[in-house]
Amino acid sequence: MKKMMWILLLTLALSCSFASFAFAAEPLGQEAKKFIGLTCGLVIAIAALGGAIGQGIAISKGLEGIARNPEAQPKIFIPMILGLALIESLVIYALVISIMLYGKL
């Protein structure tokens, strides 16, 4: 688990450093365009993976809670749906950032 966290942090740091090319004031060279393209792919892939894992865990725990206590279904279901919407909004935000970076190519 600790090794996976370090890999994720390294990937995020590299993505952020590559994304800094996109917001530079001078015209972009061919090398910077390669990094921006790579960053666009990494951003959306990491966001989709994280969102899918988060939604899977949220639904699993929500259904487990409803199965254990069916009377609590209204108290569990609405916050679970709200949480899923917030997770999905983060993935859409990553898509918007990726499109903005792609627009710099």
Is 53 inside a domain boundary?
yes
Q: What is the pLDDT of residues 42-79, one digit of tens each?
A: 888 888 888 889 899 999 999 999 999 999 888 988 98
The rounded distance, in Å, linking the Cα atoms of 21 and 10 is 18
Indicate the pLDDT class of residue 37, thresholds 50, 70 and 90. Answer: confident
Number of CB atoms found within 10 A of residue 19's CB: 21
Domain total in the chain? 1
Is 35 inside a domain boundary?
yes
Residue 31 has pLDDT above 60, yes or no: yes
Is 51 inside a domain boundary?
yes
If you write DSSP's letter for every residue of 3-64 in order, what string do you get? HHHHHHHHHHHHHHHHHTTTT-SSPP-HHHHHHHHHHHHHHHHHHHHHHHHHHHHHHHHHHH
Q: The domain containing residue 64 runs over which residues?
A: 2-19+29-103
Q: What is the mean pLDDT of the chain?
A: 79
Give whole-number Cα distances, 6 to 13, 37, 42, in Å. 10, 23, 16
CATH code (residue 63) = 1.20.20.10
Is 47 inside a domain boundary?
yes
